[in-house]
Amino acid sequence: MKNFCVCLAFCMVCAVSATASEKGNPRMDSCMWEAFSCLNDAERAELMKLQRDEPEKFRAEMEKRAEAVYREKLAHYEEMQKIVDRCIASTDEAEKAALKAQLREKLASGFDRRLALHRRQAEAMKRRAASIEKEIDRRAASRDAILDAHLDAVLSGKEKLRVPRRKLQRTEPVPER
């Protein structure tokens, strides 16, 4: 029982250790994604409009929502940590068993929350993939018309041939020459 509690305490300390206000913090990035994933379609549309019209307000709103998600996760972690500490300190096996059951419930609720988030993300990806497939099918059905229009535009001088673009995935800055 003690090994279980110590191992769990170590895992939780590793999981939540930074403050939410740190810029570029991957935990905050995940909280922002989670906050966005929890929106219904109307809220998402409203925020996307705000992003187009007023990017700074959008950023502030998303940071506020991400902070709320982070605070909720942090409170959940702190509750679990208190249970772990009490479990480790306890010498009564009945109390340890009760604390372990409490801790299991808390762990299960966090696990279930992550599962629900992953399901929402998978559903969003499926909707996006279906939208892309629909666009591909539409363009395939209009293939000849699209090609003829592009050919005419290029030959009339209205358009130029498109130069291939190359996206570089750099992790380091480009060296100066």
Sequence ranges of the domains in the chain? 2-132
pTM equals 0.61
Across 9-13, 118-122, 127-131, least confident range: 9-13
For residue 25, the SS3 value is: coil
Alpha-carbon torsion angle 143, 144, 150, 153, nearest 10:
-150
Q: State the sign of the Cα–Cα–Cα–Cα dihedral 125, 130, 134, 140.
A: positive
More confident residue, 61 or 173: 61
Average pLDDT over residues 16-23: 40
Closest CA to 148 of 164, 159, 134, 163: 159
pLDDT over 70 at 128, yes or no: yes
Stretch 43-55: mean pLDDT: 91
